[in-house]
Amino acid sequence: MKKLIAIALFVISFTSFAQQGNRLSPEQQTDLQVKKMTLELNLNSKQQNKIKPILLENNKEKEERYQKIQQSRKSGERLSTDERYKMKDEMLDSRIEVKEKLSKVLTPEQLAKWEESQRQNSAPRGMNRKNQTN
């Protein structure tokens, strides 16, 4: 029984440790996002070339925010209410900026389709996102 518990703890700790080091780089995230958007929105090559730098900049900013949060967690510090507010405010500003930039590249139909996919992706976890109509 002790061996079983020890093995279970090892597997759990190994899995959680492995997940921390498996993050995609901002460049890799961007490549995948552009390909996914190309498939979903039928982007042409000109649109792909214009969207890629927009998404890359956004992914680099997200990575910086992620690293800041991870650094505070490792040091055992919790972000203050003001720091959390500032991070969330920056995140929303970034989303607005991305939407504005994409609206200059995408057709109105593509933008509407992208906005719908964003709504579905931001639905609370555990809900059936495909059937949500918010």
Write down the domain spans for the chain: 23-119
Given a contact cutoff of 8 angstroms between Cβ atoms, the answer to whether 54 and 62 are in contact is no
Given a contact cutoff of 8 angstroms between Cβ atoms, the answer to whether 41 and 113 are in contact is yes
The label of the residue with tokens 């492995």 reads: 18
Which pLDDT score, from 0 to 100, does residue 30 have?
A: 96
Which pLDDT score, from 0 to 100, does residue 68 have?
A: 85
pLDDT in tens, the chain (134 residues): 656 555 655 556 555 444 556 899 999 999 999 999 999 999 999 999 999 999 999 999 999 988 988 888 888 888 889 988 998 999 999 999 999 999 999 999 999 999 999 888 887 766 555 554 54
Closest CA to 114 of 24, 54, 25: 54
- Residue 46's alpha-carbon distances to 8, 39, 52, in angstroms, are 51, 15, 10
Q: Which two tokens stand for residue 61?
A: 């900013």
pTM over 0.75: no
Euclidean distance between CA atoms 80 and 86, whole angstroms: 10
